[in-house]
A = this chain, B = another copy of it.
């Protein structure tokens, strides 16, 4: 059992809009145990639609199509599906009445274009769209299922959740698939792969490992197919349990955890607060914490001390240190972290100062050099990292590395208890 997803529409094909529908559909199908064979994007052209849908039906038991169902001339999906299934377009009375009511409520004329939304191929089962005019359509032929849905994301999502997924589970009597994702930070993919090679080789054949890199974290996903859900969950848990001792403090958490959300959880649990003093990261650390709803519980704010005068006058960094060691130095990073902690009255202060690039590097301190510090009630720790030459990447990596320095410190305190 496998599925294809086809998005129809010139806007997606030519790159004017980014397709988010197919990722959403793939994730939902994955959750009910239907693997995706292929996703396509094609334009509003008859031959392309016939070729893609017909080709998909040769390989996959299920084809889900989105888009191309609008009332205007360029939307031809319905007409082409009628042709493909050799079934005439007929008026669907419930849809006709629903669209008529919808137009009346919006004060829009119920003209021929809108009336055409109620035409569907005679052979299909109509799936009622409560959020828009274009109905969903369910086709069956030679053991294959083809589902056509509107491209408007919230209409498509409602139809999938309310109609399509329940019908699929019933129609295909689906088996279980289980995924679980573990988040790591601090070791490159190639090193980690080598480090855990013997663990990976010992995985049973029905459990698969995937490395999922993202800009600042590395995710490891285990998937078990065609097995009893409960047993699979236990097996995956057992495998990850064996992995954890190999990971040590590069283990951050599970599923959607990030370095900053892990820190947030620890701070909330401890009833403690944080502030940040940022030079080269320029507000990115603050933005990462405040992007999470509920940040006000532990994140009080911070200072972006981009200019040295702000480091000196607002954070209390000494002119002596700035002159002697330079703005990018351990001494200044420490004073920044201590300064923002004192200024904001928080439990911890975190600081970064570095050379984001592409200019400003020196032989001693090349582009990508970042000093970071964490001030706690009892001590201040500092660390230097050396990243690359690309400004945006340096900023992103330095921000996460500084937050991770605090994460390690909090974890150490927890371990010592």
Residues of A within 8 A of B (CB): 10-20, 22-28, 30, 35-43, 48, 52, 70-74, 105-109, 111, 113-114, 131, 154, 188-191, 193-194, 209-214, 221, 273, 275-276, 278, 280-287, 289-291, 293-296, 299-307, 309-310, 313-314, 343-345, 356-359, 386-388, 390-393, 395
Contact = CB atoms under 8 A, between A and B. Distances in A.
A300 B310 contact: yes
22 contacts: A14-B30, A16-B23, A17-B214, A18-B18, A19-B19, A22-B41, A39-B41, A70-B189, A107-B386, A111-B194, A114-B190, A278-B283, A278-B286, A280-B290, A282-B286, A282-B290, A282-B295, A283-B287, A283-B304, A296-B307, A314-B314, A314-B343
The quantity of this chain's copies bound in the complex is 2
Contacts of A190: 71-72, 108, 111, 113-114
A40 B38 contact: yes
Give the one of A42, A286, A390 with max B CB within 10 A: A286
Nearest to A26: B15
Contact of A286 (B213, B283, B300, B390): B283
Contacts of A107: 386
A290 B283 contact: yes
Given A291-B282, A300-B307, A15 B11 contact: no
B303 A290 contact: no
Most central of A36, A109, A301, A344 by chain B CB within 10 Å? A301
Instruction: Rank and list the top 9 A-B pairs by shortest CB-CB distance, nearest first.
Output: A282-B290, A283-B286, A283-B283, A15-B26, A15-B27, A300-B307, A39-B41, A15-B23, A283-B287
B27 A23 contact: no
Nearest to A189: B72
A38 B51 CA distance: 11
Nearest to A44: B210
Contacts of A210: 10-11, 16, 74
Contact of A301 (B19, B303, B356, B390): B303
B16 A27 contact: yes
Nearest to A28: B15
Contact of A392 (B12, B291, B306): B291
Nearest to A23: B15
A344 B395 CA distance: 22
Given A23-B18, A106-B386, A309-B300, A395 B71 contact: no
Contacts of A343: 313-314
A347 to B, nearest CB: 13
A278 B108 CA distance: 27
A10 B179 CA distance: 13
Contacts of A26: 13-15
B310 A191 contact: no
B301 A194 contact: no
Contact of A306 (B71, B213, B295, B345): B295
A402 B233 CA distance: 48
A383 to B, nearest CB: 13
A348 to B, nearest CB: 14
A390 B289 contact: no
Given A70-B189, A113-B193, A213-B70, A307 B301 contact: yes
Contacts of A72: 189-190, 193, 211
Nearest to A273: B307
A188 B301 contact: no
Contacts of A359: 293-294
B15 A22 contact: yes
Contact of A154 (B10, B24, B289, B393): B393
